[in-house]
Amino acid sequence: MKIKVNDLVVVISGKDRNKTGKVLKVLEKSNRVVVEGVNTAVRHMKKTRTQKGQKVDFNAPLSASNVMFLDPKTKKPTRVGYQISKDGKKERIAKKSKTVI
């Protein structure tokens, strides 16, 4: 998966379309990502002996195909590619501006 934790992404489809946020978690096996402030849901927690019943807001995962990397230079959605640097290291680049991420 080309999207990593702490990347800035924009949602390109779904109920939260055009919202941007930072990637908090990447679920590689299920091809999903958790984005800060996007796809919020409510979980109802049952009361126990020590705490009251409550509603807990959390960011639910969404499919990685519904988000695009936000280019740091142009601030527009772009694809992510790879290139080999002169010292032989593999690095990620933004396809639109050709800048190293």
- Asked if 98 and 55 sit in the same domain, the reply is no
The verdict on 36 and 77 lying in the same domain is no
pLDDT digits (tens, 9 = 90+) for 45-81: 999 999 999 999 999 999 999 999 999 899 999 999 9
- In this structure, the answer to whether residues 76 and 39 fall within a common structural domain is no
Read off the pTM: 0.85
Mean pLDDT of the chain: 95
Q: What does DSSP assign to residue 100?
A: B
Q: State how many domains the chain has.
A: 2
Give the domain extent around 95: 72-101
- pLDDT tens readout for residues 7-43: 999 999 999 999 999 999 999 999 999 999 999 999 9
Q: Do 17 and 65 fall within a single domain? A: yes
> Is the domain of 40 the same as that of 60?
yes
CA 20 to chain centre: 9
pLDDT at position 1 is 87
**Domain identity same for 83 and 56:** no
